[in-house]
Amino acid sequence: MTDSKPTRLERIVTAGGARAAIITVAHPPLNLFDKALLDALAADFEELAADPPRALLLRAEGKLVSGGVDVHVFDGLTAEEGAQLWQTLFARVIHPIEALPCPVVFAAHGLTLTAAFEIALACDIILAAPKAKFGLVETVVGLTPSMGGPQRLAERAGSGRAREFVMTGDLYDAATMADWGVVNAVHEDVDDAARALLARLADGPTRAHAATKEIIGAWRSGGVAHADSVTPEISGRLFATSDLKNAVRSFLDVGPGKATYRGE
């Protein structure tokens, strides 16, 4: 345990002038998700919600991304207290990640267990190092993952894979996760790759990225028909943005790929 804050929130400016943010979990020796770490992450997401960046990277320091949840968090809870714990974590951690109006990237450089992987699954893009391993191992304490992991894993990999992953409690490597469509890409230097992607996304059309998240969110909650029903209004709003107007003019004047975006 350390008395210092277990996360570090940095605001950075990309070479293209965009505002981005990086949350680093730094809670040695194992980056365990105890009350201090969960509260710190919730505070970070509350701050970001009040002043969103144009892209966010979640990463960790140390040998592991995380050894999982500190089991002391569960000790002695009643059924009602257990339900309240999960409601709180959805409200303060998982849903705020998904609600951010910007791309969110997760970088996994090593072992990524339980809550850390559930948080990764709430992000838009997951990058991993070849040596990274992933697991939802809550069965060792008679629990099922309850921060949204099973359903978000099923969304990416299919329900059969999600059942296998959770019920066996086995560890799966980055290559397997990429093959299943859970990890977007595997990089030898995942931190450099994640920072480069962060900059690229932050320098892009932020309002369009937010619209993409909103449309996919509509599909997740109501299927293709519901997403189709809301897309015209969501996408239509983009025509009032400076970024779209300027990018269209840039395309017509000098060709594709030359536009710069301000997130407006």
CA–CA dist 226, 220 (Å, integer):
9
Look at residue 3 in the predicted model and tell me its pLDDT: 56
Confidence of residue 236 (pLDDT cuts 50, 70, 90): very high
> pLDDT tens-digit profile of 8-33?
999 999 999 999 999 999 999 999 99
pLDDT at 4: 86
Question: What does the pLDDT look like over 211-234, one tens digit per residue?
Answer: 999 999 999 999 999 999 999 999
**Paired tokens of 69:** 């949840």
Q: Supply the DSSP string of 50-101, one letter for each residue.
A: HS--S-EEEEE-SS-SB--B-GGGTTT--HHHHHHHHHHHIIIIIHHHHHSS
Between the alpha carbon of residue 79 and those of residues 68, 75, 139, 148, 162, the distances in Å are 21, 12, 17, 18, 25
Q: What are phi and psi of 18, to 5 degrees?
A: -85, 145
Average pLDDT taken over every residue of the chain: 97
Confidence of residue 263 (pLDDT cuts 50, 70, 90): very high
Q: Using 50, 70 and 90 to split pLDDT, how confident is the model at 1?
A: very low
Q: pLDDT band at 171, cuts 50/70/90?
A: very high
pTM of the model: 0.96
Q: What percent of the chain has pLDDT over 70?
A: 99
Distance of alpha carbon 65 from alpha carbon 108, whole angstroms: 6
- Residues linked to residue 104 through DSSP beta bridges, in sequence order: 56
pLDDT digits (tens, 9 = 90+) for 114-146: 999 999 999 999 999 999 999 999 999 999 999
